[in-house]
Amino acid sequence: MFPAPPEPRRAVRKDIPRNLAIGIAAFLTLVITIPFFFSGSSASLRAVPYEPDAIPESMPFAIITDLDKRSHRTSDKKKPFWVASMKHGVLHYNAAKGSFRVEWVSDHEVQSKHSEEGRGMELSELVRYRNQMFTFDDRSGIVYELDNFDPRSSEDPAVFPRHILMEGDGRTDKGFKCEWATVKDDEMYVGSFGKEFTDPKGIRPPGFGNMWVKVIDKELRVRHEDWTNRFIAMRDAVGYGSPGYLLHETAIWNPFLNKWHFLPRRASKTEYSEAADEKMGTNLLISTGPAFDSFDYITVGTVTAERGFSSAKLIPGSKGRIIIALKSAESSLAGGEAVQTSFISIFTVDGKMLLEEEEITGGAKFEGIEFTT
């Protein structure tokens, strides 16, 4: 029914000596293979089974927008506020056919009066953590808790600030550009685009504040981690080393495979250019273990230059084998206007498409997706 998935490619992190890397790999292979040989299971991407009947027949989910400058509004009293659109849907699964179908149910608006330099509610992710729903503003660094996100409610959801994340080690007045978030070991990891900031005029030195990751625990305390070397190792390993780059807006921790999955929004082998970047969309799926010492990477579906991954989640019941993902596209027009579109798709972690990209109506840039029950 579906085309065979592509063969994964592997790259070993370059800052580890080759002989040592081979020795470590051989040792780990021995340690891992022996117990799995007797248990009849495997930790590889291709060998983790899932029971089709374990996937629910219907799975409610929500998506949320980053409208950029279009999020700004003015009240009747001429006071500014900012909005995002939230769309509820149901993912239907047919176990007999192994097929998925998306049904859209309702649309809501989410409002806030908080902003940074006149920008706000540019929400880049949705994450359900400890039975609460969180979303993240990539302009201000505000972490919002969402309330009343039931699709059956006649009222719009409300948001309440729970944190303001700051760039780098947190000792700055610049809000963190939150781009992705996931849950690992009962903590919420929030990351940015994983690329150093470069001044096109060459006046300002490179900035590495967006190569840090924020870790939020169950008490909502924040820990700051420098992931600069991890992001550099990843892009080097998959062939996009400096002056090339990867821009990240999607990352998932997969507890079933004990792996990170990164789905970059952009990938370029040449130096960053704001104009050219709009057409650097990619279909890479990069997987790595907790140590970030080796990387498997494949391509998923076909590349459309303007489209890049903006959010993804593991589908319930699939044992970490199936991903639902959003892609978004934005093209600049004369006069500063921009056209926004979004797409939804489903595929396995080894690259087999189960639902080809479908456009989401409404002309908006959706950058967060999460299951709501």
Q: Give Cα separations from 165 to 113, 214, 299, 373 (angstroms).
A: 17, 8, 33, 27
Beta bridge partners of 147: 158
Give the DSSP letter of residue 21.
H
* 64: CB partners within 8 A, 6+ apart: 84, 85, 86, 87, 110, 123, 126, 135, 366, 367, 368
Tell me how far apart the alpha carbons of residues 143 and 29 are, in angstroms, rounded to a whole number.
41
370 is in an annotated binding site: no
367 labeled part of a ligand binding site: yes
Residue that has been written with the tokens 């924020």 in this structure: 214
124 annotated to bind ligand? yes
Compute the Cα dihedral for 48, 50, 182, 286 and give only its sign. Answer: positive
Nearest to 360 by CA among 85, 83, 55: 85
Residue 145 annotated as binding? no
| 109 known member of a binding site | no
Does 179 show up as a binding residue in the annotation?
yes
Which segments are annotated as binding site?
A: 124-125, 179, 249, 310, 367
Which segments are annotated as binding site for Ca(2+)?
A: 124-125, 179, 249, 310, 367
